[in-house]
Amino acid sequence: MEAHRDRIVGDLFGEDSYFASIKEFWPLQDEAIAAKRDAYLAAGWPDVVVLDRGQEFEYWNMAKAGKKAGGRVYIAVAGSGEVTIHEGYLTHKEAAKAKAAKGKAKDEDAEAKAPAKAKSPITSGMRNYLDLHRHAAVRLALLANPNAALRLLIAHAIAASGNSGASRPNPKQPASINPPCR
């Protein structure tokens, strides 16, 4: 209003007023819109779209999205010079893409945060070596207690576990664990 040098026309009660010269009004209005656009960009909005003069904001084709979600600010300028600002909108298609990308990013973050599947530090060779020591410990315990050895022999005979002396040795394990059949 301070930059306007022509007269301003108002009604009798002073509620509405307008510029008398359109030629002077639009350059000033465009400057004010550009300043508003720059203020939104400085405030951190990713994009500010100034619609063509008289073009309506198609709210039915838009989805609400915040500043952090990539929402834009749309500035609609009516033919009368009235300016309407719509903050935080994306097209439905862009909102769907952003939602899919966000979901994918969450999945990637979850994978990055999830601990990797822990691998056993014990190799198969080391596992066989430990099995040898376990069997040796069991043999030693059975030699020290012959009654327990007899009960274990009877339990194996009744349960038919398949580990009787008539079975074939496992070729994948050391011979000391599976002595040859006699």
Give tens-digit pLDDT for 106-116: 555 555 555 55
Percent of the chain past pLDDT 70, that is, above it, reads 70
Q: Between vectors from CA 108 to CA 102 and to CA 110, what angle results, nearest 5°? A: 100
Cα→Cα distances 79→11, 36, 45, 84, Å: 20, 18, 26, 12
pTM score: 0.51
Return mean pLDDT, the chain. Answer: 79
Edge-to-edge strand ranges of the sheet holding 83-91: 48-50, 72-77, 83-91, 62-64
